[in-house]
Amino acid sequence: MALIKCDKHGETGFMPFVSKELSKRIESGEHIKHDDISWIDVLLIDDEDGEILQEIRYWMSTSFFNSISALKKYRILTEHDEKEVDRILSPIIKGGGCCGKCFDEQTDKIRLKAQ
Ligand SMILES: [Zn+2]
C-alpha cells in the first residue's frame, strides 16, 4: 500500500478510491453526513467462469454522483466494459485519494451501513 503523510496521522496508508472533491472534504475534517456520500461498486469478473476477481468501491459525494449520471454498480467482463468504466471513473478519481485513517474516521458509520 502506498503511503501518504497526513497532518493528523503522520505517515499512513493511502486510500486511493476516493474522489478528489470528497478527499478534500475528508482531509479538512468536515463532518460529512450519510446522505452526502455515494459510491460506485466495480466488479471485475472472469469472462470464462464468471468468478469475481476484484471488487472495488469508489467513493464520492452524492452531489458529484448525481452530476455524472452513473450507475451504482458496474460489471467488467470485457475490454470494452473496462474502457467504458474507466471513462466514467477517471474524472472521479483523477487527483483523488486521501489518508486511509481520515477516511476510516469520517466514513466508519457510513461504510457499516453500506455493507
Ligand atoms: Zn489522516
Digit-coded pLDDT (tens) for 37-50 = 999 999 999 989 99
In sequence order, what are the residues at sequence separation of 6 or more whose Cβ sits closer than 8 angstroms to the Cβ of residue 80?
Answer: none
User: Mean pLDDT across the stretch 27-33?
Assistant: 88
**Which residues have beta carbons under 5 A from ligand 1 (an ion)?**
6, 8-9, 99, 101-102
CA 77 / ligand 1 centre spacing (Å): 35
CA 23 / ligand 1 centre spacing (Å): 11
pLDDT of residue 109: 76
CA 76 / ligand 1 centre spacing (Å): 32
- Say what the pTM is: 0.89
How far apart are alpha carbons 40 and 58 in whole angstroms?
Answer: 5
Domain boundaries, the chain: 3-114
